[in-house]
Chain A
Amino acid sequence: MEQFASNFGLLLQFPVVNLKIVIDGVMIGALFALAAYGLALVWGVMNVKNLAQGDFVIAGGYICWWLSEKGLPALLGVPVAFLVMAGIGWVIYKVVIRRVIDRDLFTTLLATFGLAIIMAQMLNLIFGSDTQSVDLGYETLYFIDGFIDVPIAKLLGVLMAGSLAIGVVLFMKYSRMGQAIRATAQDARAARVLGINTDRVYAFTFSLNAAICGAAGAIIVMVWVIQPFYGITHSVRAFVIVTAAGLGNLPGVIAAGLGIGVLEQYGAHIFGIGYQQAIAVLLLLLVLIFRLLQQRRVRQSLQ
């Protein structure tokens, strides 16, 4: 307890530490937001709550790591992870998701949980259970007498995440497929009547989600660490973000993603790194309880 208090005191004593934590949190939160955006897409369009989300992220990370181990430039890993994960996502849709899409929600939840187990264990068997990361070899920038360190690799990661997000948003807005996806999200039946092949739209959406996650994972491996079993924490984070932001609310997703990044950094600073997973989960519970209270108010007003 005293440890926590002294850590907390440190924050008040040295305001510059806060700035560092916020910057770190924002940089990592941008990547959380990316994965969460994919989840919001799948959730909103096909009403599938994908618990394998985090494992898509980790799988993308391993693709990038594997390439850099083979001597290829790590930055190439981002587009490669994007494409490979798109393929994997398409296969998963055809084999599993298509069959549970109109069943009750717990079924999809459990099916994707099974997928999460399969993916995490396969990664563990193929790549081993050590934590891995890719060092891009860029310098670190220092501000304010070296109190704040910003590795260029992280800046680059945020930049790539941002441009990917913008690309996806533009795609959703202007391309024919993007329009079809939005139409299906609004009313799948009406979209079918108007000649949209919703099965193809679903397949595309799911593989786009996997691709976004893969790219996010490839960036995460460059700025952070990955491990086969970190997937579930990423899934929980994505759920926190989407639940907090609501569906189809892109600015909300970004804000919630950055917010959870910052909160986690604060939590890690005050309580120690050992609590990181607990903090992500507790945030989820808080968000759920908050939503619950909101609903309760709605119900009361009906009485």
Chain B
Amino acid sequence: MGKRAVFYLALIIFMIIAPFVFPVFKTQLATVWLMIIVALTWDMTGGQMGYNSLGNITFYGTGMYVAAVVTIALAYDVGEYTGSSGGGIYEFTDGQYFTGMFLGMLAAGLFCSVVAVVIGYITFGLRGPYFAIGTLGVAIAAGELVSNWDWVGGGQGIALPVYPGDFENGKILFYFLFAATGVALFLFLKWLYTTRFGAAINAIRDDEEKAEAMGIHTLQYKLATWAMAAFFVGVAGAISAFQLIHFEPLESAYQTINLGIFMVVCALLGGKGTLWGPVVGAILFHVFKEVTWTYLLGWQWVALGVLIVATVVYFEGGVVGWLMERKPHWFSLPAKADEAAGDDQS
């Protein structure tokens, strides 16, 4: 246990001092946390429950919009604010900004949970690839609809007030907001996967018909899991909205082919169905992405596509899956771990 405690302690210390040690990379580090959050939440349904969603980005975009609308609505009329598209002068006091941010995050999370239940009620009857395509359809449709909805700014998007005070301090605040959400999510999942609930969703992944026959209300479990995932994605979206200041529907909020796919790749790269997999995958993926974005001018997307294909085709278990095979004692697994043992916990 000693080693493990040291490991966690070192991680926490690194997490806290990272934005001060690497001041240039504050926003990058915050984005790593964002990737960790979305990858972990994707893995809740994709890895642990066997429902591969391609539409979790819906909650990210919706969270952004809910947070923005809540913040604006506290001070001004939303339609007027978005209608002026930067023309009018709208001042936000510090108090309005921070209450807006706090309430916005909360509202975003809760609203996204409700959205998840509603969408899930329709889509969870779909199995396998139909679920993936259906949720992808939901995400694309949501983006298109919002971008044609003038009350929230239409295709122009929404501009939020800038962080009052020092810009660099704002970056640190956003880093810690993301980090706190990420840690909370990680600890929550670490606990959740050991409970009866975790066992139930794993049962749904392994064989849904049998799980149902054993008396598990599969639809309720599926809706609850997705709602929990949506809550955290919504909160992350809300933080992103304040961090980006200005966002527009198709490129930054409902970015189906960017973040919407990245989260899946993160989870697969790290190893889906494990607790640490999405975390490791998100960090590796973000590093890969930033390196290619910097050095492969123009070809970065092709490199990314190749990474996706290579991960999916040649690297099935992901990094953590591969490590589990090689170093089972790191995960307190029996030395000759069979396939099933790798699925539960890390």
Give residues in A with beta carbon < 8 Å to B.
49, 96, 99-100, 103-111, 113-118, 121-122, 125, 232, 236, 239, 243, 274-275, 277-278, 281-282, 284-285, 288-289, 291-292, 295-296
Contacts and interface: CB of A to CB of B under 8 A. Distances in A.
A236 B314 CA distance: 27
Contacts of B132: 106, 109
Given A99-B314, A106-B52, A239 B133 contact: yes
A121 B305 contact: yes
B141 A278 contact: yes
Given A114-B305, A117-B304, A295-B125, A275 B148 contact: yes
A292 to B, nearest CB: 4
Nearest to A103: B316
Contacts, number: 104
Contacts of A122: 302
26 contacts: A96-B309, A99-B314, A104-B128, A109-B52, A109-B129, A110-B264, A110-B308, A110-B312, A111-B308, A111-B313, A114-B305, A115-B309, A117-B261, A117-B301, A117-B304, A118-B306, A121-B302, A236-B140, A278-B140, A278-B148, A282-B137, A285-B138, A288-B134, A289-B122, A291-B130, A296-B125
B312 A111 contact: yes
Interface of B: 52, 122-123, 125-126, 128-130, 132-134, 137-138, 140-141, 144-145, 148, 257, 261, 264, 268, 298-299, 301-302, 304-309, 312-314, 316
A284 B137 contact: yes
B346 to A, nearest CB: 22
Nearest to A289: B122
Contact of B130 (A117, A118, A288, A296): A288
B312 A292 contact: no
Q: Which among A113, A125, A232 has the highest number of chain B CB atoms within 10 Å?
A: A113
Nearest to A92: B309
A181 B147 CA distance: 44
Chain B interface, >50% SS class: helix
B312 A281 contact: no
B309 A118 contact: yes
Contacts of B141: 278, 281-282, 285
A117 B140 contact: no
Contacts of B130: 243, 288, 291
B144 A106 contact: no
Nearest to A114: B308
B263 to A, nearest CB: 12
